[in-house]
Amino acid sequence: MSSAIAPMTPTVESIDVEAERIEILKRYRLLLRAAKPFLKDNDAKLIKKAFNTSLEAHKEMRRKSGEPYIYHPLAVAQICVEEIGLGTTSIICALLHDVVEDTDMEIADIDRMFGNKVARIIDGLTKISGNFEFGTSQQAENFRKMLLTLSDDVRVILIKLADRLHNMRTLGSMARDKQLKIASETAYLYAPLAHRLGLYAIKTELEDLYLKYTEPVIYKDIANKLRATRLARDRFIAQFVKPIERDLQVAELDYAIKGRPKSIHSIWNKIKKQNTSFEEIYDLFAIRVILQADPEHEKAVCWQAYSIVTDHYTPNPNRLRDWISTPRANGYESLHTTVMSKSGQWVEVQIRTERMDEVAEKGYAAHWKYKGNETKTGENIETWLSQVRDVLNHSDRSAIEFLNDFRSSLYQEEVFVFTPKGDLKVLQTGATALDFAFEIHSQIGCRCIGAKVNGKLEGISHVLKNGDQVEILTSAKQKPSEDWLKFVVTSKARSRIKEHIREENKGHVTDGRELVGKKLKVLGLELTLETINQLRAYFDAKDANDLFYRFGKAYLQPEEVKKWKADRDARQRALENKVQPSVPLEDGKGFTKEVRKLRGTRTDADMLLIGEDMDKFDYKLAPCCNPIPGDEVFGFVTINEGIKIHKTTCPNALELMSNHGNRIIKAKWTSQLELAFLAGLRITGTDRMGIVNDVTRIISSELKVNMRSITVDSQDGIFAGTIKLYVHDTSHLDTLIRKLEKVKGVVKVVRFDYVDA
C-alpha cells in the first residue's frame, strides 16, 4: 500500500452510509475553501473531477480505523494546501496518489484524464511492484524510485511528505510491528527530507510522532512535564519580553512575539546528549520576534531588533547565528542569539521577518511565493537540489548504499568557504579539502593532491572552517583510492569516488566470483543467490560485489569458504538436535505464518514470546544493545543467525526497521523464567574514602546482584565508574539505580548500552 494504513472492511451493520456521505462532502468543501484564494479558470472543475475519480476508485476501501479510505487522500490534499502551501496540480495528485497502486486504474488512465504532468507525479508516488531478492530492501528500492523523481518534480517529495504526515497522525490503529517500521522509516528518511526542504513544522511533528510510537513512556513523560510547567513558562516569557516590546514600540517596528516550547523529540535528544534530566534542561523554549519589513529593509530591521534585545539581556557570544547574511542551504533565514535573563536562565531568541518565518515553516513551497524578491533563499535551495540531482543521476549502486549516501546530504550543519576568486560554496560541516575539490568539478576531485587553505599548504583530508579560502592543487597522476572514503563527507564526493573505484575493481569482482564458484563446486555446492546472501552475512560484506571483490583482492582466501560451510553445517546440526527443530525463516510474514500454526487464535498468536519459544524458533539477544526484560523490543529475522532481539532504542534499530521492515517481528517478554541479564551502569559523583565499597556493598550484599566487572576512575575530586551486572528486568535495575543514587557522594546513575565482546 502507498499509504501506511491498509484497507479493511467493517461489518455492514456498523456503517452509517448517509452520515459518512455528509462527512466526506464536508471535508471536500473544507479543502476547496482552503484552496479558493489561488484557484484560477478551470481549477475547481479539475479538483472536483479528481475528487470524484478518487471517491469512485476507493469506494469499497476502508482504513484500519474503519473509516472510509477517501478520508486519507482528502487529508493529504488539505496538508498540501494549508501546511505546505502547494497549488492545484498538487491537490489533484494528492487526491489521486493511491489510485494506481490500490485500484485497477493505470498511469495511462491518469495521463488521459489529467495530463502528463499529473501522471508523472503519480508515477513517482506509486510504489514499485514485483519480487525482490532476499537480502535486498524493497523499502530502499521504493525510496530510490521516489527520490529519483527529484530530477523531474520536487512536488513528488512534498506530496509524499504530506502523505507520510497524515499516516503518522493516524498510526494508532496499526499493529505494533507496523508502527515501529513506519515510525522508523519516518525518522530515517522523511523527517530529514522535511528538514532539508525547509519544512520545519512538519519535520518537528514527524520526529515527535516517531518518539510517541517508539518510546511511548518517554514521550508521555516529557509531554506531561511540558504541560505541568506551562503556566510558569508563560509567566516567565511575559516578564522576559516586556522591556523588548516597549522598545520595539518606541522604534515603531511592526512586530509579533511568540514563545514556543522546544519539540518533545529535541528535548529528549538533549536529555540523552547531555546525560541529564528534564528538570536540568534550561532551554525548553525559544522566543521568536517576527517583524514586518519591505524586502530591501529586512536585514536592517532584524539587526535593529537584535540591538534592542541585547540592550536588555547579555548575549552569549558563542551562540550568535547569522542566517540572514548567509541563509542555510534549505532556505532558512533568521538571527539566533542566546541571552542571559534576569533570573539567571539562558533564553534563545530568534529574530526574523514574516517572509522568513513563512519560508522557515513551509520551506521550499513558500519560497516560490517570494521568488521575485532579491533573496538568497531560492538560490540556496536550487543549489542543493542540483547537487542532489547530480548524485541521483550517477547511481548504479545497491539501493541501500544509494540511500545511505543520499542521507548523508540531509540534516547537516553547513560550512561556508570561498574559491580563490571569492565565490561562496556551501558544504556540510566536516567537509574536507577533497570534498571542496569534488564540489568544484569531478575531475578536479579525482586528481586532487592537496590544497592551499588561506595561503597555507594542507593535505586532502584537511577539515574546512567557515570563511576559509581554498585553492585546489592537482596532478594528472593522482587517482581516487578507498582510503578517501574515510574522510569525505559530501554525497557528491562519496558517489564519485565509489564510481571510480567500482570501475577499477570490475576485474577483481569477476576474479572473486570465479574463485568462490570453484571452491563451492569442490564442496558440492552451487553459487546460488541464497548461498551468496549467506556468505555476505557471514563475511559482513555490504553486497555481492563487495564480497567477490574481497576474494578477488585476496583479502579473503578461498579456504575461508570451507570454514563457512563447516560453521553452517554445525549450526544446522545443533538446531536439529533440539527437542523440536526450530523453523527456518526468511521474513516477518514467514514467522507470523509459523507462529499462528502453533498458537491458533490466541491474542499473542503473531508474536515471539521471549522465554517460551526457544525450542521452536532460533533466537538470541542482540549484543549491540543487550536488551533486558521490561525493555521495549522487536525481533529481526537475520539471514544466517535466526532471530535477533533488539531494543527499539538500539543504535541499529532505525536502519534495520527502515531498510528491512519486512523482516521485523513483534516480540515480548514472558514472566515464566527468572533469568539474569547483563546490564551496564555508569556512576558519577564526588570522590570520598570508601565510596566504592558503599556502592559494591549495595549491589552485592543488599540486593544480591552479581557483578561481572567494575572500573572506577578518579580525577580532581570527581569519580566516574562503569559497572556490568546481572539483573532480572528493568524494574530490578530501577530499584538498584534508586538505591545507588542515595549513596553519599553519588550524583548520577544511568544505564548505558554497550557492545558485549
**Residues with catalytic function:** 101-102
3-state secondary structure of 645: strand
Q: Could you tell me the three cell numbers for 551?
A: 576474494
DSSP three-state, residue 441: coil
Could you tell me how many residues make up the chain? 757
DSSP string over 574-641: HHHTSSSPPPP-SSHHHHHHHHHHHHTT-TTTTEEEETT-TTTS-EEE-TTT---TTS-EEEEE-SSS
Q: How are beta strands 664-669 and 607-610 bridged, if at all? A: parallel
For 416-446, b where at least 16 C-beta lie within 10 A, e where not — what string? ebeeeeeeebbbbeebbbbbbbbbeebeebb
Q: What b/e string do you get for 492-510 counting C-beta neighbours within 10 Å, with b at 16 or more?
A: bbbbbbbbbbeeebeebbe
- Short-list 407, 404, 286, CA closest to 336: 286
Residue whose C-alpha is closest to residue 222's, from 274, 261, 172: 261
Contacts of 115 (CB under 8 A, 6+ apart): none
Q: Are 647 and 621 in contact (CB under 8 A)?
A: no
d(CA 353, CA 502): 48
- 10 Å CB burial of residue 455 (0-12, 13-18, 19+) is exposed
How far is 584 from 115, CA to CA, in rounded Å? 49
User: In whole angstroms, what separates CA 232 from the centre of its chain?
Assistant: 33
DSSP 677-733: EEEEEEEEEE--TTHHHHHHHIIIIIS-PPEEEEEEEEETTEEEEEEEEEESSHHHH
3-state secondary structure 215-227: CHHHHHHHHHHHH
Q: CA distances (Å), 713 to each of 212, 676, 683, 698, in order?
A: 37, 27, 10, 19
Q: If you search the block for the grid coordinates 506531561, which residue do you land on?
A: 224
State the Cα–Cα distance between residues 509 and 91, nearest whole angstrom: 48
- Of 306, 314, 309, 304, residue with least CA distance to 251: 304
Handedness of CA 504, 507, 512, 517 (dihedral sign): positive
Cα–Cα distances (Å) from 487 to 200, 467, 679, in that order, read 30, 20, 34
The alpha-carbon radius of gyration of the chain (Å, integer) is 29
Asked whether the beta carbons of 643 and 721 are under 8 A apart, the reply is no
The kind and range of the H/E element at 336 are strand 335-340
- In the block, which residue shows the cell 507462529? 595
Q: What is the dihedral of CA 490, 495, 498, 500, to 10 degrees?
A: -110
The CA dihedral of 579, 585, 587, 590, to the nearest 10 degrees, is -80
d(CA 606, CA 600): 9
In degrees, rounded to 5, the angle at the alpha carbon of residue 406 between the alpha carbons of residues 403 and 412 is: 130
Beta strands at 718-727 and 707-715: parallel, antiparallel or unpaired: antiparallel
Task: Kindly report the number of other CB atoms within 10 A of residue 396's CB atom.
Answer: 9
